[in-house]
């Protein structure tokens, strides 16, 4: 058995355990490579039936158009049900307050929308594409990660996981996050995408884009979601870039790259000296930015 076959087998086992242990799970789906791989594995896990749970997308309203286009295509392709929670609705309802200023982002606001959507639909498990190699807070996550009735994660109070025995018991109002790709690395994901020839949004492949460099990050200016200072406008450059992660456009940076196919990307990832989330401005707000967000109920 190759390491990819082992990881695939483990993830499919976790997906089936989730379907067996929970009464109303959902799968978080952003149109990013990790959620795409997770949904691809779910297709295999339950073939020839359709996915036994809906795809859940938290729409910040500041998404890359390519990601939304892919999401809608994929939902039709696999005949899945799609549930969307809108951050704009959370803002309009006064549930969250939109940030102002040059570094404003809706990324953190997603937490409230996510928890509201989980509560509205009474989901008792949310499958996520998080991996332990992404960030130190995610390295602490178990496969079955307990959330209290407020959607909060307590890293010091997690269920033991012995071998492949998972404990999905919970009290009323609580739910779980489940991470079938926990043991995967970025390289594993790319090698699996290449092996399976999984279609991806064009953002992941090198292309020309109008970019502004700010604090060492290459930020997209084409979506119009990045507030620009007057002195920055003449500095917009046409660059050949691609994205290693796909998230809210206000905090997701690009990397200079000429990798236009899966072989090139695998080679590029193997030689990369910067971490995958090194392009994410949201992780740089503080040393514990991800852990703080996760404790509040973030993905």
Q: Does the structure show a pLDDT above 70 at 71?
A: yes
Q: Does the structure show a pLDDT above 90 at 234?
A: yes
User: Alpha-carbon distance 112 to 85, whole Å?
Assistant: 10
Average pLDDT over residues 14-41: 97
**Which burial class, exposed, middle or buried, applies to 15 when counting CB atoms under 10 A from its CB (0-12, 13-18, 19+)?**
buried
User: Alpha-carbon distance 59 to 28, whole Å?
Assistant: 11
Q: Does the structure show a pLDDT above 80 at 287?
A: no
Helix (H, G, I), strand (E, B) or coil at 85: strand
Q: CA angle, 289 as apex, 61 and 156 as ends, to 5°? A: 120
Average pLDDT over residues 244-262: 93
| Backbone dihedral region for residue 40 (phi beyond 0: left; psi -120 to 50: alpha; all else: beta) | alpha
User: Alpha-carbon distance 47 to 51, whole Å?
Assistant: 8
Q: Does the structure show a pLDDT above 70 at 100?
A: yes
Per the model's pLDDT, the better-predicted residue between 83 and 106 turns out to be 83
Average pLDDT over residues 157-170: 89
Q: Which of 124-128, 146-150, 250-254 has the highest mean pLDDT?
A: 124-128
What pLDDT sits at residue 16?
98
Tell me 278's DSSP state: G
State what percent of residues in the chain have pLDDT above 90: 74
At residue 281 the predicted structure's pLDDT band, cuts being 50, 70 and 90, is low
Q: Which residue has the tokens 């979506």?
A: 223
Choices 3.40.50.620, 3.40.50.2300, 3.40.50.1100, 3.30.1330.60: CATH for 3-191+287-296: 3.40.50.620
Q: Does the structure show a pLDDT above 70 at 67?
A: yes
Indicate the range of 44-53, 119-128, 166-175 predicted with least confidence: 166-175
Tell me 207's DSSP state: E
What pLDDT sits at residue 280?
65
**Which burial class, exposed, middle or buried, applies to 22 when counting CB atoms under 10 A from its CB (0-12, 13-18, 19+)?**
buried
Average pLDDT over residues 212-241: 93
* Domain boundary assignment for the chain: 3-191+287-296, 202-283
Q: Does the structure show a pLDDT above 90 at 139?
A: no
């Amino acid at each position: 058995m190759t390491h990819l076959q082992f990881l695939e087998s483990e993830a499919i086992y976790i997906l089936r355990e989730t379907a067996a242990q929970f009464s109303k799970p959902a799968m978080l789906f952003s149109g990013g490579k990790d959620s795409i791989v997770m949904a691809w594995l779910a297709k295999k896990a339950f073939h020839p039936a359709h996915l036994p749970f809906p795809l859940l997308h938290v729409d910040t309203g500041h998404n890359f158009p390519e990601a939304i286009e892919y999401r809608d295509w994929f939902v039709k392709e696999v005949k899945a049900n799609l549930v969307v929670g809108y951050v704009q609705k959370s803002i309009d309802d006064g549930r969250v307050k939109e940030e102002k200023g040059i570094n404003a982002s809706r990324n953190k606001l997603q937490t409230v929308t996510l928890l509201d959507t989980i509560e509205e639909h009474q989901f008792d498990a949310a499958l996520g594409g998080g991996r332990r190699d992404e960030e130190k807070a995610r390295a602490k996550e178990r496969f079955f990660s307990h959330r209290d009735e407020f959607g909060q994660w307590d890293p010091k109070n997690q269920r033991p996981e012995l071998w492949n025995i998972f404990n999905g018991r919970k009290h009323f109002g609580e739910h779980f996050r489940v991470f079938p790709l926990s043991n995967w690395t970025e390289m594993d994901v790319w090698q699996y995408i290449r092996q399976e020839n999984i279609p991806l949004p064009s953002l992941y492949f090198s292309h020309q884009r109008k970019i502004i460099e700010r604090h060492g990050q290459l930020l997209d200016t084409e979506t119009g979601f990045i507030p620009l200072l007057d002195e920055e406008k003449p500095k917009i450059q046409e660059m050949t870039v691609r994205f290693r992660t796909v998230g809210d456009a206000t905090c997701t940076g690009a990397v200079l790259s000429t990798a236009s196919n899966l072989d090139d990307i695998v080679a590029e990832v193997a030689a990369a000296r910067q971490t995958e989330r090194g392009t994410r401005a949201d992780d740089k707000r503080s040393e514990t930015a991800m852990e703080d967000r996760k404790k509040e109920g973030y993905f």
